[in-house]
Amino acid sequence: MAFVIGMDIGYSGLKIAHGASDASAPTTILRPSGAGPKEFLPHRITGSENYVLTLVDGEPWAAATEHDRFQGYDRELHKDFTSTRAYTALANATLALSGQNTVDVLVTGLPVVHCTQANIDALTEKLTGKHRIAERREVEVRKTVVIPQPTGAYMDLLSSYDDPEFLAEARIVVIDPGFFSVDFVLIERGELRDKLSTSSTQAMSVLLATANRILMERYGTGPGVEAIEVALRNGKSYVLVSSNKEELKPLLTAAAQEVAPEALKALRTSMRTGQTNVDLVLLAGGGAAMYEPTARDLFPNARIITADEPALANARGFWAYGTNL
């Protein structure tokens, strides 16, 4: 059977779902998406290393580790992320973690506003073919498919929802809060309404910056966006601020009350233009829970669903999409 990878490379996390096309479910991996030349990593004194070592243009790179580990190397946060060496390193890490030397189908996504044909063609060309990921290891990707990012979460829902007839007839909005952007996709009777789909930059990076500002107002200093990000990704209930443990849940709830309504302005405008009601709202991505209250206010009559393990929803859906090709 074909081996399929669903790859969701985000600005904060690397999400992977891989396995044979006839498997009942994929193997999933969730790692930080920090990547940089290995020389910029500090020397670890205790414990084992937690990065994937790969090659980018023949140079050793460390990938799939925390962003704040790199010394004197700036994090990539811009719309051309897929053209960077950091993205290449993370794609190579994905291939390394698959354990395969041949990948039949690789499916990934682009943010809605960047999902132009030119960008799709460029990324498809970049990912397809043979990749030298280590000195003595080459991995071939035979076919690459690039789709709008939140479409993955919709495909994931199709594979698990207990009322497929409802999904076939419903108007569905997928809200995918990522680190760099919040993507919105409208799907009506199984068709992607791309003209009514959009993105907002009021994303998790802005929400975490707001949370850090709140802490600075309380303590005169803050832990920084990356410290809050790491605590959240590692499932901690608190973040340290000047030796004090600040609970994350109320902090992020307060930040979301400021940021989420602003993020969904673009969606409100798009939905007014489309003059359509919504039957179901699907929340995916690492920030799904923080945008749910605003989604309920915006769509009071719709079914509101948060994907299981929402950070992995797109990757699982990409894999499901690839198994049907």
Secondary structure of residue 216 in the 3-state scheme: helix
- What CA dihedral angle connects 177, 283, 172 and 6, to 10 degrees? 80
pLDDT digits (tens, 9 = 90+) for 66-91: 988 888 877 777 778 999 999 999 99
Torsion of CA 292, 293, 295, 300, to 10 degrees: 130
pLDDT for 79: 76
Token pair, residue 254, equals 């307060």
Q: Assess contact for 203 and 287: CB atoms under 8 A.
A: yes
Quote the mean pLDDT of the chain. 90
Backbone angles phi, psi at 76, to 5 degrees: -85, 115
pLDDT of the residue at 241: 94
pTM: 0.90
Q: What is the pLDDT of residues 130-157, one digit of tens each?
A: 999 999 999 999 999 999 989 999 999 9
Beta bridge partners of 215: none
How high is the mean pLDDT in each 10-residue block of the chain (325 residues)? 96 95 97 94 79 95 92 78 95 97 97 89 98 96 95 93 91 89 87 78 86 94 90 89 93 91 77 71 90 89 94 97 95
Query: Tell me: the pLDDT tens digits for 47-70?
Result: 677 899 999 999 999 999 998 888
Rounded to whole angstroms, the Cα distance separating 5 from 321 reads 10
Compute the distance between CA of residue 295 and CA of residue 215 in angstroms, rounded to an integer: 26
Specify the pLDDT at position 14: 97
Go through the domains of the chain in sequence order and give each one's CATH number. Answer: 3-150+314-323 (3.30.420.40), 163-202+265-306 (3.30.420.40), 204-258 (no CATH)
**pLDDT value at position 76?**
74
Which residues, other chains included, contact 15 with Cβ-Cβ below 8 Å and sequence gap of 6+? Answer: 7, 8, 9, 28, 29, 30, 311, 312, 314, 315
Residue the block writes with tokens 């904060």: 12
